[in-house]
Amino acid sequence: MDSDNTLRTPVRSLDQAVAIAIRRGLRLSDLALEYEAQESGRPTAEITADMNLRLAVMQASIEQGCQPGLYSRSGLTGPVGHLLAERERQHQRPTLAGRSVFLAARRAIAIVSVNAAMGRVVATPTAGSSGIVPAVLLTAAETLGLPSEAVVQALFTAGLIGLVIGNRATLSGAAGGCQAEVGSAAAMAAGAAAEMGGGSPEAVASAVGLVLQNSLGLICDPVAGLVEIPCIYRNAGFAAVALVMADLALAGVRLPLPADEVIDAMGQVGRLLPVEWRETAQGGLAATPTACRLARQLCGHTSCPRATR
Amino acid sequence: MSAHYRSIFDIIGPVMIGPSSSHTAGPARLGRVARNVLAGALAHQHPQAQPGLVRATLYGSLAATARGHGTDLALLGGLLGLAPDDPRLREADQLAAQAGLVVQWETGDRADLEQQNLPPTSIRLQVWPAPAPADDLPETPPAVDMLGVSVGGGSIEVRQINGFPVSFAADQPTLLVFHRDRPGVVAQVAMALARAGINLSQMSLGRKGRGRQALMVITTDQPIPIILTEQVRQLSSVDWVAVVETGYGGMLAWTPTTPCAHPSGR
């Protein structure tokens, strides 16, 4: 096969992947599956089965995350998934966000709540941002009336987008702030959802750029150093952003900036973020007086800046 | 400087126990690598050497949020041989106490980190075998002195082992061969692997000086059978051999866990 027509490791360009997909009349998910088979030497059936297993773990986390007794290990949050499931049942008072967005938010929260309880999740791309991709894709499948095979397929598109972001910029909150985790997860989810909605490879790339311009600059400031506040709520918020941006892309909205350049901008912003805003719990929400008190109470320590600073 | 993610499953995965891929799953995997290296280093004395005392130095963000991210439990779990998706990570502190594993937690100096050009999620693990020495500061040097990075998303990179600069991600079977710098050792090891039908995907070689201690790091496309490890260990210029587990072990045997109840006493 012509080397210009396949993905090679390390995958570093989404724009190039889009060009290849268009040339060959493939979806990005097909290209991603082909790449994984080539790279691992495993048959595609085995790879798809492996992804299916991960989807099962995601679904189990959603179920667990809506249990009434689910609290985080610290006790600081819970049982949020249950509260939202209850809210959904109140038919006289419909949710303001509408069924699809609310459901995605509820599912995202359920997964990250399980994560905060040291339960089992699939990191997509990280554990702190693990709610967004499954929530958005499962909700999109439901809205579009697609079977679970379509979700498995879309997970490959999401993975391909994540590979590019990880190899061009970063997926780590400690290196690039929350935009690198929650922002990347929402970009992956929006791109994959756009493909599920019948969008072209360009629509996928647009969805990625549209999400990242919403999340640019988002800092990582976990209260008491716990993956709870704001992480859990940001997963809900950016699940909604992902769905809306996927819709924008499907409506034909295109950014004049190539997706790769938007990803580079995210990487650059991450490098410029002060260390206090990169998962050290020394700035933002984590440095508020109440957060410092909670840190002392819950963990017996505080990583907050001293009063003299 | 960015990481090199190769597989789609590095991004959609790993399946893991929360709450943080970089601060929980990564450290669990680094702990397990240290355990594997220790087992290799002491294989000639004990067939299954276990960590007894570990001095864990956490740098940067890892040190700042270790407790909140369960980094302590994850590292303990990894040192006990648990995979990152093993629900027993939650009670790794109790398991460590039962196994007689003692950990001293240290906070690394940020200047030190920048000087060595290491990312803010680095961990140094100095490991002495069980039983843990009675005094807190053993006079013997650690059997394993390893520096690794949790690069994000559960991926790791091992950067130093016992003074040798290395670079491997432990996402493929990895063979570490500590040997003396003599002509032909590499050929002997490569030949042993070739005869077993094992393909090398990456190989690096470093030495402390001409004719002195050297380290070969080999990653392979196929699992490394124990009999092969034994063969390599018996080569005349080889001191010891360690096989690093890939760290995603438990996933395929996945079973639903009990819902995580709220903490006791609430």
CATH for B217 = 3.30.70.260
Q: How far off is chain B from A141, nearest CA to CA, in Å? A: 18
Q: Where is A243: in which H helix or E strand?
A: helix A231-250
Neighbours of B183 (CB within 10 A): 7
Q: Are B166 and B185 in the same domain?
A: no
Look at A226 and B263 and tell me if their CB atoms are within 8 Å: no
Q: What pLDDT does residue A3 have?
A: 61
pLDDT at B263 over 70: no
pLDDT confidence bin for B3, thresholds 50/70/90: low
Has residue A291 been placed in a domain? no
Name the residue in chain A with its Cα closest to that of B68.
A226
Name the residue in chain B with its Cα closest to that of A68.
B261
Q: Where is A298: in which H helix or E strand?
A: helix A289-299
Has residue B241 been placed in a domain? yes
Average pLDDT over residues A20-25: 98
Look at A279 and B254 and tell me if their CB atoms are within 8 Å: no
The number of folded domains in chain A is 1
Q: Are B132 and B191 in the same domain?
A: no
The number of folded domains in chain B is 2
Has residue B264 been placed in a domain? no
When CB atoms are compared, the residue of A11, A118, A126 closest to B17 is A118
A220 secondary structure, DSSP code: B
Q: Are B45 and B157 in the same domain?
A: yes
pLDDT at B65 over 90: no
Look at B254 and A278 and tell me if their CB atoms are within 8 Å: no
Q: How far off is chain A from B172, nearest CA to CA, in Å? A: 10
Q: Are B129 and B209 in the same domain?
A: no
What's the CATH number where A238 sits? Answer: 1.10.4100
Q: How far off is chain A from B209, nearest CA to CA, in Å? A: 33
Collect all residues with Cβ–Cβ distance below 8 Å to A229 and sequence separation of at least 6.
A76, A77, A222, A223, A285
The answer to whether the beta carbons of residues B142 and B117 sit under 8 Å apart is no
Q: A168: which chain B residues are within 8 Å (Cβ-Cβ)?
A: 2
Q: What pLDDT does residue B245 have?
A: 81
Has residue A276 been placed in a domain? no
Q: By residue range, what is the domain housing residue A18?
A: 10-271
pLDDT at A143 over 70: yes
Q: B266: which chain A residues are within 8 Å (Cβ-Cβ)?
A: 71, 75
Q: Are B26 and B141 in the same domain?
A: yes
Q: What pLDDT does residue A265 have?
A: 98
Q: A275: which chain B residues are within 8 Å (Cβ-Cβ)?
A: 60-61, 120
Q: What pLDDT does residue B248 have?
A: 56
Q: Are B65 and B154 in the same domain?
A: yes
Q: Are B191 and B88 in the same domain?
A: no
When CB atoms are compared, the residue of B18, B120, B262 closest to A227 is B18
Look at B12 and A158 and tell me if their CB atoms are within 8 Å: yes
Peptide bond into A125 cis (omega under 30): yes
Average pLDDT over residues B92-97: 95
Q: Final residue of a domain: which of B136, B170, B204? A: B170
Q: Please report, for chain A, how many H helices and E strands are present, in that order.
A: 14, 1
**The whole model's pTM is what?**
0.87
Look at A114 and B260 and tell me if their CB atoms are within 8 Å: yes
Q: How far off is chain B from A217, nearest CA to CA, in Å? A: 18
State chain B's mean pLDDT as an integer. 87
Neighbours of A303 (CB within 10 A): 21
Name the residue in chain A with its Cα closest to that of B11.
A125
Q: Alpha-carbon distance A299 to A74, whole Å?
A: 9
Collect all residues with Cβ–Cβ distance below 8 Å to B93 and sequence separation of at least 6.
B72, B73, B76
A287 secondary structure, DSSP code: G
pLDDT one-digit tens code per residue, B7-54: 999 999 999 999 998 899 999 999 999 999 999 999 988 877 899 999
Angle at B215 between CA B174 and CA B233, to 5 degrees: 70
pLDDT one-digit tens code per residue, A242-254: 999 999 999 999 9
Q: Are B70 and B166 in the same domain?
A: yes
Most confident stretch, A302-306, B68-72, B173-177: B173-177
Q: By residue range, what is the domain housing residue B237?
A: 172-246
- In one-letter notation, the amino acid at residue A222 is P
Has residue B91 been placed in a domain? yes
Mutate to test the interface with A, among B29, B260, B262, B266 (most CBs of A within 10 A): B260
Q: What pLDDT does residue B160 have?
A: 95
- CA distances to A132, A166, A206, A263 from A247, rounded to whole Å, are 16, 25, 11, 20
Has residue A307 been placed in a domain? no
Q: Are B30 and B86 in the same domain?
A: yes
Name the residue in chain A with its Cα closest to that of B86.
A120
- In one-letter notation, the amino acid at residue A36 is E
Look at B85 and A120 and tell me if their CB atoms are within 8 Å: yes
Model ipTM?
Answer: 0.94
State chain A's mean pLDDT as an integer. 94
* Closest residue by Cα to residue A239 from A166, A197, A190: A190
When CB atoms are compared, the residue of A9, A60, A299 closest to B256 is A60
Cα torsion A123, A124, A127, A129 to 10°: value is -170
DSSP string, chain B: -------HHHHS--EEESS-IIIIIHHHHHHHHHHHHHHHHTTTT-TT--EEEEEEEE-HHHHHTTTTTTHHHHHHHHHTT--TT-GGGGGHHHHHHHHT-EEEEEE--HHHHHHTT--SSEEEEEEEESSPPSSSS-SSPPSEEEEEEEEETTEEEEEEETTEEEEE-SSS-EEEEEEE--TTHHHHHHHHHHHTTPPEEEEEEEESSTTSEEEEEEEESS---HHHHHHHHTSTTEEEEEEE--S-GGGGG--PPPP-PPPTT-
Q: What pLDDT does residue B113 have?
A: 79
Q: Are B199 and B110 in the same domain?
A: no
What's the CATH number where B158 sits? Answer: 3.30.1330.90
CA B135 vs. chain centroid, Å, equals 25
- CA distances to A133, A152, A300, B25, B190 from A228, rounded to whole Å, are 18, 28, 17, 17, 49
Q: What pLDDT does residue B250 have?
A: 41
Has residue A19 been placed in a domain? yes
Has residue A66 been placed in a domain? yes
Q: How far off is chain A from B231, nearest CA to CA, in Å? A: 27
Q: How far off is chain A from B174, nearest CA to CA, in Å? A: 16
Look at A123 and B151 and tell me if their CB atoms are within 8 Å: no
Q: What pLDDT does residue B49 have?
A: 86
Look at B16 and A120 and tell me if their CB atoms are within 8 Å: yes
Has residue A295 been placed in a domain? no
Q: Are B76 and B190 in the same domain?
A: no
Has residue A47 been placed in a domain? yes
Beta carbon pairs, A and B, within 8 Å: 234
Q: A30: which chain B residues are within 8 Å (Cβ-Cβ)?
A: none
Collect all residues with Cβ–Cβ distance below 8 Å to A20 and sequence separation of at least 6.
A4, A5, A6, A7, A26, A31
Has residue A303 been placed in a domain? no
Q: What pLDDT does residue A113 have?
A: 97
Q: Are B191 and B221 in the same domain?
A: yes
pLDDT at B71 over 50: yes
